[in-house]
Amino acid sequence: MNAAVLGSSYVLIAIGLTLVYGVLKILHIAHAGIYAFGALFALFLYERGLSFPLSVFLSLLFAGLVGSLVYEGLYKKVLSRGRIVPLVMSIGLFAAMEDLYRLLWGPYKRPIDVYVPLPDLMSSSLYLSSRGLLVILVTVIALISVYVIVSQTKFGKWLRACANDLQLAGAFGINTDRTIFFGFFFGSLLAALGGILVGLYENTVYPTMGSIPSYKAFVVVVLGGFGSIRGAVIAGYLLGIIETFIVYYFGFLLPRDAIAFLAMIVLLMFRPEGLFGKVQR
């Protein structure tokens, strides 16, 4: 069951990235900065005496705002400069963000003391703590709402149009700028949710919690085929399962992260468009 929890956390971050990448085609590394922000800010609010659901809600809102401000203030200005400029900018931003969190909230690992009103699932073969259960439940709810939003609402339609062809979408009267803005808002919100859930599950929150997910989320996005949300979901769970099994059955030959990256490189060599991507030329 560990695998499902791990996979859930990958999926939440990767979907946000997929939304962003699908539209803008930039590697948004600072996304993981937002992931850490979500968890840290929620904890900050919670420690100020707000109730936990309220602080989570506010944190998600703020994370979304931060994400869309990053687009509005930074990426938008350099979009015409090719891909490497936003990439380097994003790297710099991520470094600055991590350090800012450390300055604001200290470098310590802190627990989230909150009671989760769910039962522990226990049987002879599996054990799932109440927090693990919460992670899986919330992820499923989030996935369903993502599906509904992307496939049913007007905003989802715009988003898909922009992902397909940004200029053409603009020519057909879609406000691409606003769509991207909301895409960033929505994607960042999901990342923050992922951060909060991982923080809850592992019961630690710290400023550099985003460093590993930042690159790993890209592995998931690549495995699923860039820009494909369905692919990202399947790849996220698949990666969670594969990693857990390899670590469980073969021990620590290589660390988890190396396994993920190795899988990605091998896949890229044989199927450069990812597991579920379309061939683009």
Which parts of this chain interact with other proteins (CB under 8 A)? 21, 25, 27, 74, 77-78, 81, 83-89, 91-100, 103, 215, 218-219, 222, 226, 252-255, 257-258, 261-262, 264-265, 268-269, 272
d(CA 116, CA 87): 39
- Least distance to other proteins, CB of residue 30, Å: 9
- Least distance to other proteins, CB of residue 215, Å: 6
- Least distance to other proteins, CB of residue 17, Å: 12
d(CA 185, CA 70): 10
- What single string gives the DSSP state of each residue in 222-253? HHT-TT-HHHHHHHHHHHHHHHHHHHHHH-SS
Secondary structure (3-state) at 127: strand
d(CA 39, CA 105): 12
- Tell me which DSSP letter residue 73 carries: I
Contact 177, 64 (CB under 8 A): no
- Give the nearer residue to other proteins in terms of CB position, either 97 or 193: 97
- Least distance to other proteins, CB of residue 279, Å: 13
- Give the nearer residue to other proteins in terms of CB position, either 80 or 124: 80
- Give the nearer residue to other proteins in terms of CB position, either 115 or 270: 270
- Give the nearer residue to other proteins in terms of CB position, either 9 or 90: 90
- Give the nearer residue to other proteins in terms of CB position, either 100 or 144: 100
Within 10 angstroms of residue 240's Cβ, the number of other Cβ atoms is: 22
